[in-house]
């Protein structure tokens, strides 16, 4: 009798957990629908509900085009700089044992913990009109706050952790043996990096770059504080959206928002593709051992 009882119990608990599972999935989906999907859909609806013509008019104004250009310029500077820095930091942390290693890791994470507005404020306090470096910057006639350099600095600050965060675990998982093998085969440090290390960490690195780029183009708070938000001069796409909306130019605001949202969707698709590749590779390398 005993096995019968236990079997039916297993069945019951299984049925219950299946029901629970469905319930959880339902709640999660409903939540996503309310929080994410409806707002996103609304943006696209508002951008296009007066027809594609109105949309095209909205995105061909001088201010809009300038905002797009500025956003691209800032990303084009901040992303490569942070990619380079992130790679260096990841290498130092993953390949060396030294005192203050965990401290360094926490410092790299700092931009995640600090509110972007505060980050922007720090830049103003350092380089602004009454900041620490104000007189020196004045003497060489170089403007940081309310100009491109400050916006790049703010963007670089908030996007600093992404690459290092993604690359450190990949480097650690890779280990040092392949690099040592390459060196015994005659490779220089540079050749080891290009031919062995980089191909091993490429997916992690690319993922980090993607996240950096998405954040760089979408950053509002920090950039808003340091830019002064002057239309046609220091206005990025997110700043443009806000101002247009406040000025009741909802068509322009939603058109720009749709463009930003589209960017996010493209990033997500790319990320998904990358994750599939890495997953495939992991399963692949876990095949026969002996």
Where do contacts with another protein occur on this chain (CB under 8 A)? Answer: 177-178, 180-188, 191, 195-196, 199-200, 284-290
| Least distance in angstroms from the C-beta of 217 to another protein | 31
| Least distance in angstroms from the C-beta of 170 to another protein | 12
The smaller minimum CB distance to another protein, of residues 143 and 195, is found at: 195
The smaller minimum CB distance to another protein, of residues 52 and 177, is found at: 177
The smaller minimum CB distance to another protein, of residues 122 and 167, is found at: 167
The smaller minimum CB distance to another protein, of residues 26 and 199, is found at: 199
The smaller minimum CB distance to another protein, of residues 129 and 195, is found at: 195
The smaller minimum CB distance to another protein, of residues 115 and 176, is found at: 176
The smaller minimum CB distance to another protein, of residues 196 and 241, is found at: 196
26: how many CB neighbours lie within 10 A of its CB?
A: 10
The smaller minimum CB distance to another protein, of residues 162 and 207, is found at: 207
| Least distance in angstroms from the C-beta of 205 to another protein | 13
Residue 247 has what DSSP assignment?
Answer: T
| Least distance in angstroms from the C-beta of 213 to another protein | 24
Quote the CA–CA distance of 99 and 156 in Å, as a whole number.
26
Q: How many CA atoms within 13 Å lie on the side-chain side of 131?
A: 20
Quote the CA–CA distance of 234 and 146 in Å, as a whole number.
7
3-state DSSP of the chain: CHHHHHHHHHHHHHHHHHHHHHHHHHHHHHHHHHHHHHHHHHHHHHHHCCCHHHHHHHCCCHHHHHHHHHHHHHHHHHHHHHHHHHHHHHHHHHHCCCCCHHHHHHHHHHHHHCCHHHHHHHHHHHHCCCCCCHHHHHHCCCCCCCCHHHHHHHHHHHHCHHHHHHHHHHHHHHCCHHHHHHHHCCCCHHHHHHHHHHHHHHHHHHHHHHHHHHHHHHCCHHHHHHHCCCCCCCCCHHHHHHHHHHCCCHHHHHHHHHHHHHHHHHHHHHHHHHHHHHHHHHHHHCCCCC
Q: Is the separation of the CB atoms in 96 and 173 below 8 Å?
A: no
| Least distance in angstroms from the C-beta of 20 to another protein | 38
| Least distance in angstroms from the C-beta of 87 to another protein | 18
| Least distance in angstroms from the C-beta of 198 to another protein | 10
| Least distance in angstroms from the C-beta of 287 to another protein | 6
């Amino acid at each position: 009798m005993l096995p019968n009882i236990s079997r039916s119990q297993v069945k019951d608990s299984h049925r219950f957990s299946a029901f629970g599972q469905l319930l959880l999935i339902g709640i999660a989906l409903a939540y996503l629908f309310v929080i994410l999907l409806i707002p996103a859909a609304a943006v696209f609806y508002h951008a296009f509900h007066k027809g594609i013509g109105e949309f095209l008019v909205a995105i061909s104004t001088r201010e809009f085009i300038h905002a797009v250009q500025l956003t691209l310029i800032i990303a084009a500077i901040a992303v490569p700089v942070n990619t380079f820095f992130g790679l260096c930091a990841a290498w130092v942390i993953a390949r060396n044992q030294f005192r203050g290693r965990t401290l360094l890791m926490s410092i790299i994470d700092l931009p995640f913990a600090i509110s972007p507005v505060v980050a922007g404020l720090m830049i103003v306090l350092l380089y602004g009109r009454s900041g620490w470096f104000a007189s020196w910057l004045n003497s060489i006639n170089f403007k940081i706050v309310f100009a491109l350099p400050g916006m790049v600095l703010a963007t670089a600050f908030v996007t600093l952790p992404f690459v290092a965060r993604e690359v450190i675990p990949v480097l650690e998982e890779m280990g040092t043996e392949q690099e040592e093998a390459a060196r015994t085969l005659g490779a220089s440090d540079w050749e080891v990096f290009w031919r062995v290390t980089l191909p091993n960490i490429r997916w992690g690195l690319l993922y980090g770059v993607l996240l950096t780029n998405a954040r760089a183009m979408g950053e509002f708070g920090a950039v808003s504080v340091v830019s002064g938000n002057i239309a046609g001069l220091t206005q990025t796409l997110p700043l443009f959206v806000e101002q247009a909306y406040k000025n009741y130019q909802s068509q322009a605001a939603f058109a720009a928002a749709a463009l930003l949202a589209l960017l996010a969707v493209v990033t997500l698709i790319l990320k998904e593709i990358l994750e599939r590749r890495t997953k495939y590779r992991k399963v692949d390398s876990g095949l026969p051992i002996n």
